[in-house]
Structure 1
Amino acid sequence: MRAAFASAFNDDDPLAALTVGDRPEPEQPDDWVTVEVRASSLNHHDLWSLRGVGLSAERLPMILGCDAAGVDPAGNDVVVYPLVADPGDPRGASILSEHYQGTFAERVAVPRGNLLPKPAGLSFTDAACLPTAWLTAYRMLTTKGRVDSADAVLVQGAGGGVATAAVVLAVALGKRVYATSRDAAKRERIAQLGATALEPGARLPERVDVVIETVGAATFDHSLKSAAPGARIVVSGATAGHEPKVNLRRVFAMQLEIVGTSMGTPDELAALLRLCAERDIRPVVDDVYGFSEVTAAFARLHSGDVFGKVVLDHTR
């Protein structure tokens, strides 16, 4: 079957480690099923894999891709939950394309329990955006950020997959949303999504109850200063530095919660799918590429100019 996979590692030029070609059909252990993939979406995790981060050389070649929507053996339209129980991983689970072959292929095998029904109103390309970045944003806002009790939310570094998803979801949930970006064009697009767009470090008109933090050291002091008493600063990434200086006096004086999270549960993915279907929420898609254009899709993600998700349509 055709697939896009890591055949080597290249930290300087990750695209040079990407190979598109034939791979064996998926192995299917007991209680696993093989899904015909109709669409998948790219994440920065895929570029990190090509650099050799989180993926060991003995597992090469490894089919990349965490996210997918497709059709199960019974003909049902499904969304693939990407975390697989893995006793050999210190986290207790690994995401597809780390220890188990990923979704950038004609077919992918996953545990039967990792399949969720795709709502009829969601296209395969929209559904394929949800299991990683959008699920992470949903968990940050709901389970960790307790956004139901919040009035205002700050999203740092909007433009990337998780941050942009957080803007859309927080607006849909009726919150006042502030979002930062260094890029003026991205700030304009953020404003079109319903948020108040600001330059990084800008003073907010109010303190917020929830901060969505995926940037790290470059924005963390601003996140602390923007937080209302008792606010939750929810962290799921550190793209601009992982060792920020933290004013602990502000943390205890304001009784702030700094909470880490990653991904989400199958139940949270099911809730996210329902929310998107019931409220007509659709992912922000930067562009859709045919599977034959997978190299161009990786180049687009690697450019750093994306706004939202880069999607692969496996039917093209």
Structure 2
Amino acid sequence: METEILTLSDPAAEERALALLDAGDLVALPTETVYGLAADATQGVAVAKIFAAKGRPSFNPLICHVFDLAQARGLAVVGRAAEDLAAAFWPGPLTIVLPLAPGSPVHPLATAGLATVALRAPQGVAARLAQVLGRPLAAPSANPSGRVSATSAGQVLKGLGGKIPLILDGGASSVGVESTIVMPQADHLVLLRPGLVTRAALADASGLKVRDRATTAGVTAPGQLASHYAPAGRVRLDATRVEPGEYLIGFGPEPVAGQELAADVINLSPSGDPVEAAARLFAALAAFDSPDIAAIAVAPIPAAGLGEAINDRLRRAAAPRT
């Protein structure tokens, strides 16, 4: 894939970006914090492409970028503290973690299957694209996983060139570090990641105390419990044969032995595409999450690339329950 670079002064730049995002593709773009790797947060396959492009992926929650507070209200339950924080710091480098609204269109892959969504209203082109598209943009930092976050188009090209179709060049990021992340609670704020918006500024704007996340707190991000993403029934991995009455999550074009005995079958990707499989994973687990489904067999999925993350989530779904 050849990566195109367009400067924001180019009249065609934002139109080209919108067309790609609407079609479920990726665009690297500048924000005031760092460059983000953006996709339509409501399209599962588009979000899965983010993990694939960044490499060595894990399904961590992604920040979803919105135009303003009104757009945020369509995605999350926005309480008084969040209203105060947004009034003080949006558009800007503050991300607020909020409960998902009923019927929220954000794809579960962008939230890692959690009941919360991380929202930020950025400055500049990311906000304009979210406004015109009418949908939030999932956009982690535009760099290979584990590498330094990119603060210029050249750095994005060095790390992701040939893996994404378009980079919007808006010059150097003005802040240069990732956003502050905070989660409002009933009587305080939980600081999940420090950034340019300080602890003192958060307290002043909200009138609430700011606390660090307790080490004994429940899950606020994936990977904190051995058993997670688990349906009601027992999950059996790397199944090369289906036992009578089991439900089957398949992968690839080849049927699993005894597949005709399965009570029902969902194939994550009949073509064996890990991006498609990642996008459908949470939906498949949810479809078979029922008290009357006792056993789910899962066909082997190659562990390379995005398969590493898929298998990690499946292992957690299959782990012994406490």
TM-score by length of 1: 0.22
Q: Rg bigger for which structure?
A: 2
Identify the structure with the greater strand proportion. 1
Where relative contact order (Cα < 8 A, 6+ residues apart) is larger, the structure is 2
TM-score by length of 2: 0.22
